[in-house]
Structure 1
């Protein structure tokens, strides 16, 4: 009987851990609102750029096609050749970021502030306009790229892809 009580207590205790960060006031808990996409949050100009903005995928989305909510027009604008000079920032190894985060973006330690940029797949030369989002770490650390951007540059969603990163304009 004591074993059953202890097991039940452990199960209840572990079930409460999923939202522990929110209870302690650190980070975002599982039930915290997504302030990056809330209607009350200020929206940056980069987020409004047609080539990089996209709606969230439906909760039931399971395939790359369903998770990629960019429009054909957005994909065409993102893959159009650069019209202004670019400033090379360096090379990085990109892996798939959160597939449920919409848009065309690269989270990388190569930038210190959010900016428009271009990533080029070094294996095939295909490039895409993306929003460059800073993350902590040394410049030699890897980067995370959106599902939509990886698809545009014909990169594998499961492999690590070497890309060249440049500021646009």
Structure 2
């Protein structure tokens, strides 16, 4: 008889415990159903005057799209002859600063234009690279990337071709800012 009483009490305690658990779970479920405000009132923004709005200067050729069916170097290089001529021209009487040597790898061939992505600069701007192997140089748009100064850089396909650096190698090039 004592065994039945203990079993009954244990079953009763188990039932009461489960009821409390279900009650707590139901409370959590109801609070989850409460709707949060859909939109918080944001502070009113003041538009800057028109003389403060200035777009960033982008070099020519960066907006050009490489055809999806491009397979050869010539098809990927969508720069015009005039753009190549202007980029190859050595700047006259400009103040340039030699930033150093860097190992250049071929950058994304689908990004048109003459550019270099290098850790040698901290801000975007104009510059020039020289390949000592041929002595040829090209004016480029320089974009900073993370890394130490001794890390490598990525050079555009058009710039690689203009300085006649081998596409299948990692040439060392000189980088100059300014111009």
Fold shared, TM-score > 0.5 on shorter chain: yes
Does 1:75 pair with 2:84?
yes
Map 1:49-68 onto structure 2 (within 5 A): 49-50=59-60, 53=62, 55-68=64-77
Q: 2:159 aligns with which of 144, 149, 164?
A: 149
Shift of 1:82: 1.3
Question: Which of these two proteins has the greater Rg computed from alpha carbons?
Answer: 2
Q: Secondary structure at the match of 1:150?
A: helix
Supply the distance in 1 between the matched residues of 2:150 and 2:141 (Cα, whole angstroms): 19
Does 1:160 pair with 2:170?
yes
Map 1:99-118 onto structure 2 (within 5 A): 99-118=109-128
Map 1:1-169 onto structure 2 (within 5 A): 44-45=56-57, 47=58, 49-50=59-60, 53=62, 55-83=64-92, 84-169=94-179
- Give unpaired runs (5+ residues) of structure 1: 1-41
Considering only aligned residues, what root-mean-square deviation do their CA atoms show, in Å?
A: 1.4
- Give unpaired runs (5+ residues) of structure 2: 1-53
TM-score, reference length from structure 2: 0.67
Supply the distance in 1 between the matched residues of 2:173 and 2:116 (Cα, whole angstroms): 10
Shift of 1:56: 1.4
Supply the distance in 2 between the matched residues of 1:142 and 1:96 (Cα, whole angstroms): 11
Hey, which bits of structure 1, 4+ residues long, moved more than 6 A? none
TM-score, reference length from structure 1: 0.70
